[in-house]
Amino acid sequence: MVLHTFPGKQEAVYRPLLGSASQLTGVSIQINWNKVHQETLRWIKESAASGKTWVVANDEQGGAQIGIPPDAGWPGYDHSTKPSPDDTRAETLWGCLMAGGVGVESYFGYKTVETDLTLQNFRSRDRWWDYCRHARSFFTAHLPFWEMINANGLIGNTDNDNSKYCLAKIGSIYAVYLPKGGTTDLDLSGTEGSFTIHWFNPRDGGELKVGSLATITGGKAQSVGQPPQDPQLDWALLIRKQ
């Protein structure tokens, strides 16, 4: 039993329904594209603290004019408009999943040529479907995601902003997503043993790859190294105990 709520109304509507106060088992959030991670994570944590963890999804990403934009180069659309397809891949799709959310329903706005109300050609978001498929394959092929929780603090993102995300089964397996590429430190304090590092391309999918470091050792915070190529683009990492 899941409830949908207008943007900005979550606090007023959701909080009175937490825990045993209702039969609600989840929420499906309408929120701006660049707030999906924060709002998804917020209500997972709030519901867990109440004693009944909700299933949390993003079912309509704003602003209302755009939502999920057409692919780059789609005719009749102003591609200088924010968000770009790269923005929504990083901060909407991966933002939801890396918070521990269950997924994203795509909303197509009302100023996008192929709109929420007039869409006739789903190929206008052909790359978006690829991005969703690649993300799903990463989670289902490599992660016990049902046993993992968000752990942004382990990579230095204590504000839970959109700079980088971490999902973890502490001491066993870690997923890290870097929206802007580059690298990060991962805090493995309190763990022992060696961990392998593999990189996944969220833009094109494919096999896992090895970057500048193949392994790291537990016990401290340390760099995960550099991606195998295109360090300025987004990457996901899989860090597993050997």
Nearest to 185 by CA among 153, 148, 143, 145: 153
Q: In terms of CATH architecture, what is 145-241?
A: Sandwich (2.60)
- The CB-based long-range contact list for 42-48 (8 Å cut-off, 24+ gap) reads 42/10, 43/10, 43/14, 44/99, 44/100, 44/101, 44/150, 46/14, 46/15, 46/18, 47/18, 47/19
CA neighbours within 13 Å on the CB side: how many for 169?
14
pLDDT at 6: 86
Average pLDDT over residues 150-160: 98
**Mean pLDDT of the region 128-145:** 98
Encode pLDDT of 139-148 as tens digits.
999 999 999 9
For tokens 């502490």, the residue is: 170
Q: What is the mean pLDDT of residues 179-190?
A: 97
Confidence of residue 203 (pLDDT cuts 50, 70, 90): very high
- The proportion of the chain whose per-residue pLDDT surpasses 90, expressed as a percent, equals 98
* pLDDT tens digits, 52-110: 999 999 999 999 999 999 999 999 999 999 999 999 999 999 999 999 999 999 999 99
Over residues 120-129, the pLDDT tens digits come to: 999 999 999 9
Pairing of strands 2-5, 235-241: unpaired
Q: Where are the domains of the chain?
A: 2-142, 145-241
